[in-house]
Amino acid sequence: MNAHDPEFNTERDDAPVARPTREQAEEAVRTLLRWAGDDPEREGLLDTPKRVTKAYGDWFRGYDEDPVEMLQRTFEEVEGYDEMVVLRDIRFESYCEHHMAPIIGKAHVGYIPNGRVVGISKLARVVDAFAKRLQVQEKMNAQVAQVLMETLQPHGVAVVLEGEHHCMSTRGVHKPGVSMVTSTMLGAFRDDPATRKEFLSVIGNPTNRMS
């Protein structure tokens, strides 16, 4: 299943779009440079359109990645382990869909296995797959949690994101150092206060974890 498939319900608002050519993208960058008040033909900016389009290929590679596919390989030889698995402080870099400004933060992901576990690197890759798209933090939070719940079918999933939004720190109200904290709790983490409390204890106080 591809993340662009309309049946993939964690990404319903990202329908496939016809991409322009690299040449068209580079010309768009030249237009923005002129709009900013500079000359795209001057020496220092001649290669900027190529560099920007190449950077976009990295910053937004998540559109070409399938989080469901990343989670297909699991392991069942866990000797009956059924306690929570938590990966905390996963650094992510995303981009605000309103201003295309960076969102830099950390993700904390936990789940309670139901007979099988997934490699921990896959959890980090899933976070990146959704982060490397134009995002709203609340939506990204829900997407990560839902794809883990639907694909791994564990007893529960918990995801907490902490992000500094540069659309707020470098423009507008200019308030650097402010972090936004969002969370999604599913299954046992939503239904059992003790389980939720244990997870939050493991990841620590979000307000003290940004650095």
- Which amino acids are annotated as binding site for Zn(2+), given as ranges? 96, 99, 167
For the purposes of burial, counting CB atoms within 10 Å of the CB of 77, is it exposed (0-12), middle (13-18) or buried (19 or more)? exposed
From CA 144, how far away is CA 128, in angstroms rounded?
Answer: 10
Are 133 and 60 spatial neighbours (Cβ–Cβ below 8 Å)? yes
* Residue carrying structure tokens 């992000």: 163
Q: Which residues contact 106 (CB under 8 A, 6 or more apart)?
A: 88, 89, 90, 91, 92, 161, 162, 163, 209, 210
Residues annotated within the binding site are 96, 99, 167
The alpha carbon torsion through 165, 170, 176, 182 (nearest 10 deg) reads: -10
